[in-house]
Amino acid sequence: MIRLVTFSLSWDLVFLRVVLGIWVGELVRVIVLCWVLLLFLLD
């Protein structure tokens, strides 16, 4: 493993991971809410 490259990219990767985590979390929450509403309405 190239430690210098991973160290220089670590902060960008952490920031990107946090942003993607928040975005994916919101997307999953919306999908789950829509799915539950559909099941509730269809049932």
Residue ranges per structural domain of the chain: 1-43
pLDDT attached to residue 10? 79
Query: What does the buried/exposed string (b/e) look like for 2-34 if buried means 16 or more CB atoms within 10 Å of the residue's CB?
Result: eeeeeeeeeeeeeeeeeeeeeeeeeeeeeeeee
CA distances from 3 to 7, 23, 25, 41, 43 (A): 6, 29, 30, 54, 55
pLDDT digits (tens, 9 = 90+) for 1-43: 567 666 667 788 889 999 999 999 999 999 999 999 999 999 8
Q: Which two tokens stand for residue 39?
A: 């099941």
Cα three-residue angle 35-41-43, rounded to 5 degrees? 100
